[in-house]
């Protein structure tokens, strides 16, 4: 029997880039890790005020329905606060998950180069 690899631990960091508060999750976003992303997004919205928050999905390996809920909640929070909220696209499989869930078009997408 072969041992299955243990997925990397989920981490999330906040950075300031290009005038935006950028949140970068790494690993798998699921029921267990969604609260950590929610907390990081909360900090980003507090720092940004009515400014701009960008969620960079490039280091995210997986997202489940809990993660999708977290993204949609962040979008709603931004709308209510009059803040900007956008995503940087991750790998094709992740984008496909958002498309299948029917939420891909509700988000604003930012090219990664814009925040370099």
Q: Report domain extents, the chain.
A: 11-111
Q: Which of 16, 80, 13, 15 is nearest to 50 (CA)?
A: 80
Q: In the structure, what pLDDT confidence band is assigned to residue 1 with cuts at 50, 70 and 90?
A: very low
Question: Which of these CATH numbers, 3.30.1490.20, 3.40.50.150, 1.10.8.10, 3.30.750.24, describes 11-111?
Answer: 3.30.750.24
Write down the pLDDT at residue 18: 85
Q: What percent of the chain has a predicted confidence (pLDDT) above 90?
A: 78
Q: Where do the DSSP E strands lie in the chain? A: 11-17, 20-29, 52-56, 60-63, 84-88, 108-109
In tens, the pLDDT along 50-100 reads 889 999 999 999 999 999 999 999 999 999 989 999 999 999 999 999 999
Q: Which residue's entry shows tokens 């489940």?
A: 64
């Amino acid at each position: 029997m072969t041992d299955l690899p243990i997925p990397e631990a989920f981490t999330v960091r906040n950075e300031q880039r290009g005038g935006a508060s950028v949140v970068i999750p790494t690993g798998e976003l699921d029921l267990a890790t969604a609260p950590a992303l929610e907390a990081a997004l909360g900090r980003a919205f507090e720092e940004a005020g009515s400014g701009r928050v960008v969620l960079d999905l490039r280091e995210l390996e997986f997202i489940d329905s809990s993660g999708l809920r977290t993204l949609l909640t962040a979008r709603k929070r931004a709308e209510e606060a009059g803040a900007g909220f956008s995503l940087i696209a991750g790998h094709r499989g992740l984008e496909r998950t958002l498309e299948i869930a029917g939420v891909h078009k509700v988000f604003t997408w930012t090219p990664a180069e814009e925040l370099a």
